Amino acid sequence: FMVDAKIGRHADVDVMRAVTPDGQAALTHFDVIATQTKAQWKGRKAEIRSLLEKRARKSSSPSSPSGIREGAGKGEEADIEATLDDLERSFPEQGVSFIMAAPHTGRTHQIRLHITHKGHPILGDDLYGPQGLWIDRLALHSHSLELTHPNSSSTNSGSADNDGHKNERRQLAIRAPLPPDMAYACSLLGLQVPRELLLSHSIDTDEEG
The pLDDT tens digits of the residues spanning 106-155 come to 999 999 999 999 999 999 999 998 877 889 999 999 999 888 888 765 55
**pLDDT for the residue numbered 59:** 64
* Closest-CA residue to 65 (of 123, 124, 136): 136
CA 114 to chain centre: 14
Which residues in the chain land under pLDDT 70?
59-75, 152-167, 200, 205-209
Three-state SS at 84: helix
Contact 188, 87 (CB under 8 A): yes
Residue 75: how many other CB atoms lie within 10 Å: 9
